[in-house]
């Protein structure tokens, strides 16, 4: 169900702004599973998350995304260097 998948991805993208790092971390993995190109901007923004664990998992997620979104490699590099 593509519509349901988009709705779930949207909820997960909003969860990336949750105050709890564990929620943001879980949202990263859920977005990767959703495999929705519309969520790439949210993942790119999350590469600067204040929590190191979240940034590490965002870097992993962006690596899975590959080069399907412009700026992915730059954000991935920045996340890994922080």
Task: Give tens-digit pLDDT for 19-59.
Answer: 999 999 999 998 888 877 777 888 888 989 999 999 999 98
- To the nearest whole number, what is the mean pLDDT of the chain? 80
Whether the predicted model's global pTM rises above the 0.95 cut: no
Q: Decide if pLDDT at 69 tops 70.
A: no
CB-based contact 22:51 (threshold 8 Å): no
Q: Return the pLDDT at 56.
A: 92
The whole-number pLDDT of residue 27 equals 94
Please check the confidence at residue 2 and state whether its pLDDT lies above 60: no
Residues 33 and 35: their CA atoms lie apart, in Å, by 5
């Amino acid at each position: 169900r593509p519509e349901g998948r988009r709705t779930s991805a949207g909820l997960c993208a909003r969860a990336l702004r949750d105050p709890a790092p564990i929620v943001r971390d879980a949202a990263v993995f859920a977005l990767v599973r959703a495999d929705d190109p519309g969520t790439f901007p949210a993942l790119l923004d999350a590469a600067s998350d204040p929590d190191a664990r979240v940034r590490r998992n965002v870097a992993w997620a962006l690596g899975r995304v590959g080069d399907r979104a412009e700026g992915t490699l730059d954000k991935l590099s920045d996340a890994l260097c922080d």
